[in-house]
Each structure stands twice: as C-alpha cells, then as structure tokens.
A = this chain, B = another copy of it.
Amino acid sequence: MSRILREPMVIVNFKTYLEATGKRAVELARKAEEVCHETGVSIGVAPQFSDLAAVAAEVDIPVLAQHLDPVKPGGYTGHVLAESVKEAGARGTLINHSERQLKLSDVSEAVNRARDSGLLSVVCANNPYTSAAVAALKPDVIAIEPPELIGTGIPVSKAKPEIITGTIELVRRVNVDVTILCGAGITQGEDVTAALRLGTRGVLVASGIVKAKDPHAVMLEFAVASKKG
C-alpha cells in the first residue's frame, strides 16, 4: 500500500464536477502533480471512470477510481471491472462513498477485488461504528466522512473532532494496520493540520479543492499543512 500513497496523504475526489471532467480533469491532476513535486506530499486524484485513462497517461501521481463494482469478469453490462480500471492506469479506488454506497456484502467483495488486482482500497464510512465495521473487511484505507458535513465547508476535524477520535478508537480495536483518513468540509490548511493532530494520516477532499478559485494554491496549502500534522 505504502508504495501507492505515502502518509500523510491528500486524496482529491473529482466527483462529477464539470471543473474536473474531461480535459479539466487532466489539468487539475497536473496541478496536483506540481504540488506533489513542490512539497513531496503524496497527492492522489480520483476522476470519473471515463477520464481515468486520460488522467493516468498525463500525470505521475496515483490515480484512483471513485468506485469499484463488486463483480468478476462476466455478464455485467454497465459495470466496470477492477481489471479495466487498472489497465486504464488507476492504482487505487474509493469504495462506498456516501454518494455511491454499497450493500455490506458488496463492500466486502469490492475490497477483495481491489486487493486481488493490486489496487489500493479506500473505503468510506459515515460514522465511527460503520468505520469499525469496514475495518473488519481489511481495506488499505478508511475515510470517515460524516455525510451531513460533505460540501458544507464546515470541517469535520474542527466541528466534530470527537467523531474522528471515536473512529480511531473503535477502528483500532478491530484493525491495527489500516490507514485512517477523514473528510467532509475541509477547505483550509488548518483543517488538514487539525485532522492529522487528531490521529488521522490525511484527508479526502473534493469541493474544497475542485471548486476553489485557485486549486493549485489550496492543494499547496493542504500539502504544507499536512507536514505540520
């Protein structure tokens, strides 16, 4: 895992924002790559499936899918294989984001599919209990994101620090190896520093960067802040 993303890490979820679609996905990924080179901080980017190949061809930072279907090769029209995602150049994948949640058994199968394909698995969870549940499935990374804060600009690391510390406590009883990130409402460097000081190893962010007037500046701020954690 550490070969794919070093800690502390920043993962930028491009969602389906136009600002991070098609050519603009490639441009945003390039800016992330610059910040990575400038600071040495590990930044991963997660564009839409159909943008994966173009992004991965252009940048030398880890590219992740935003979702992984829990299916093996066969008759599953409209789904995407781990094999295809990987061949397109992705090195990891988000799983179970609050905007693309899976049945429990499918979270498990998606983690297995990622592991078998050599993809870093970053599983999202909405609270400390579900985070502990996810920990039992042995993913590489857990990202705790309270859905009520996503996209609000109210940083989880400052507004609800007890969710982060509670998650870490419950997760560690189940799994001592998994990397823990947090997300939701992160828009400033100090939110990143706060997240790390609470015990996480990085952040998962989306609108805070994608929708920023100067995404390069914000990523730079985040990367610098992550060194203070």
User: Which residues of A line the B interface, CB within 8 A?
Assistant: 13, 15-18, 21-23, 25, 48-54, 65-67, 69, 71, 73-81, 83-85, 87-88, 90, 94, 96-105, 107-108, 125-127, 129-130, 132-138, 150-151, 170, 173-174, 206-207
A18 nearest in chain B by CB position: B73
> Are B22 and A80 neighbours in the complex by a CB distance under 8 Å?
no
Q: Please name 11 further chain A to chain B contacts, defined as beta carbons within 8 Å, in addition to the given A75-B206, A79-B100, A133-B137, sorted by A numbering.
A: A18-B73, A23-B87, A48-B79, A48-B80, A51-B88, A53-B88, A54-B88, A79-B99, A104-B104, A104-B130, A108-B133
Do A132 and B174 contact each other (CB < 8 Å), given the known contacts A75-B15, A96-B104, A104-B96?
yes
CA–CA, A194 and B76, complex, Å: 27
| A148 → chain B closest CB, angstroms | 12
> Are A17 and B104 neighbours in the complex by a CB distance under 8 Å?
no
CA–CA, A138 and B130, complex, Å: 11
> Are B137 and A136 neighbours in the complex by a CB distance under 8 Å?
no
Contacts of A81 in B (CB 8 A): 16, 18, 21, 48
CA–CA, A135 and B173, complex, Å: 12
| A181 → chain B closest CB, angstroms | 15
| A130 → chain B closest CB, angstroms | 5
A112 nearest in chain B by CB position: B129
| A136 → chain B closest CB, angstroms | 4
A90 nearest in chain B by CB position: B50
> Are A87 and B134 neighbours in the complex by a CB distance under 8 Å?
no
CA–CA, A54 and B90, complex, Å: 14
A207 nearest in chain B by CB position: B75
Contacts of A135 in B (CB 8 A): 136
> Are A78 and B67 neighbours in the complex by a CB distance under 8 Å?
yes
Contacts of A21 in B (CB 8 A): 73, 81, 83-84, 87
Contacts of A51 in B (CB 8 A): 53, 84, 87-88
B103, B104, B126: the one within 8 Å of A134 (CB): B104
| A166 → chain B closest CB, angstroms | 13
CA–CA, A126 and B137, complex, Å: 13
